[in-house]
Amino acid sequence: MVEAKLYSFDDETAAPQTVELDAVIFAAPVNADLLYRTVRMQLLNRRQGTHSTKTRGEAHGGGSKPWRQKGTGRARAGSRRSPVWVGGGTVFGPKPRSYETKLPKKMKKAALAAALSDRAGDSKIVLLDRAGFSEPKTKHAIALLNRLEMTGSTLVVVGKSEYNTSVRKSFSNLPRVKCLGAPGLNVYDILRHEGLVLTLGAIEELKARFNHG
């Protein structure tokens, strides 16, 4: 049985409750190889692939033979665009390409459950009944995280309806904190942050994602 503390957003003096987490999502086997594959896929898919070098056919200049073939005492040269010349073309250099790679839907779902289970197993998950900032205030976000005892790098995940400007901007100026809506929760962001804060709305959307996704 995996448990986590549930805090109230409005009542700062209330003691946290202990609630049981869904075993399907938060008590799944932690497969390191699957986590590696998923993170690698995410990072590859973020690459733009716009790098480009010029071949000898694209390099500038070189329309005529630099000097005659014989009699100069120098090595033969046919073009200033030769790869052995400074300013010449590049051999087998990078060209624009797509790095996109895919994983089966079941593998991605299992990897997400593994990442969440890893954080739950280390007691790095804290629950919040809701995220209800009325206006963007960084100091309010800092006070909330201190109350939740989240002093390290933290990923805050809120429900889709809670992910508004006030909530997003309240956390955006904190260098070690990232705020996401539940639909955007991913393995890479979970693993690169020490702690994880989930609202009850985010939990419900995660359950729906695993049941129907």
pLDDT digits (tens, 9 = 90+) for 78-136: 999 999 999 999 999 999 999 999 999 999 999 999 999 999 999 999 999 999 898 99
Nearby residues of 157 by Cβ (< 8 Å), 6 or more positions away? 179, 180, 181, 182, 185, 196, 197, 198, 199, 202
- Using 50, 70 and 90 to split pLDDT, how confident is the model at 14? confident
Tell me where in the chain the CATH 3.40.1370.10 domain(s) lie: 3-30+101-212
pLDDT of the residue at 13: 83
At 7, is the secondary structure helix, strand, or coil? strand
Segment 49-74 shows an average pLDDT of 93
Residues 175-199 pLDDT 10s: 999 999 999 999 999 999 999 999 9
pLDDT for position 213: 55
Class of domain 3-30+101-212: alpha beta
